[in-house]
Homo-oligomer: A and B are copies of this chain.
Amino acid sequence: MIDKTVATVTAAVADVSDGMTLMFGGFGLCGIPENAIQELVRLNPKNLCCISNNAGVDDFGLGLLLQQKQVKKMISSYVGENAEFERQMLSGELEVELTPQGTLAEKCRAAQAGIPAFFTPAGYGTEVAEGKETRIFNGKPHVMETAFQADFAFVKAWKGDVAGNLIFKGTARNFNPLMCGAAKITVVEVEELLPAGALDPNQIHIPGILVDRIFQGVNFEKRIEQRTVQN
């Protein structure tokens, strides 16, 4: 068994530097790597390109990196749940590349799986397809999209073992599994870090081979963005 544990988030994130491309799991604030984000705020690398479905809110998630103006470019499908993001975007400080959500997911999965490019119908005939190759398959036009290339992937899982095997919970799964192994280095924080053999090998969502560093996360806030209940 190959041990992937690192003792602290500081050790896990220490080699992130200016100008890197970083992937972040999560949908809205659900399943985001809270510990890594906090540490990136402390470490304060600048000119980052962040690949994340969303951009957090003003005072949580990737909004924290935006507040410190660490982000040069966001690649997302849906943004602007926060005022600072909007300000930076409209002022031109922040570059935003909007990508259809399914294409975003598939570009992560392609990077993980060594598929350099694929065709999808999403975005054909829209500005998303501008400058991209298009082709008809089975009578229907498709757009060619390419795999992401990133330096780090920051992932949050529910349970993990020291071998890096991961299990996600509920809809906190989202983009997290797809970013494992999709960047040069994959850093995972878990709610519960277990010894090897503690997880049923049939139930593992992501095998440890796709994980480079795993650590026990602390103080997860798991903030709810839209608390909605029955009448």
A contact residues vs B (CB 8 Å cutoff)? 106, 110, 113-121, 135, 137-138, 140, 142, 146, 167-170, 201-203
Contact = CB atoms under 8 A, between A and B. Distances in A.
A121 B117 contact: no
Nearest to A203: B203
Name the prevailing secondary structure of the A interface residues: mixed
Shortest beta-carbon contacts, A-B, top 9: A116-B137, A118-B118, A117-B119, A115-B118, A203-B203, A116-B119, A116-B142, A169-B202, A117-B137
A138 B167 CA distance: 32
A101 to B, nearest CB: 14
A118 B115 CA distance: 7
A135 B115 CA distance: 12
A117 B135 CA distance: 10
Contacts of A202: 167-170
A116, A168, A203 — most chain B CB neighbours (10 Å): A116
A120 B114 CA distance: 7
A201 B168 CA distance: 11
Nearest to A147: B137
A116 B122 CA distance: 12
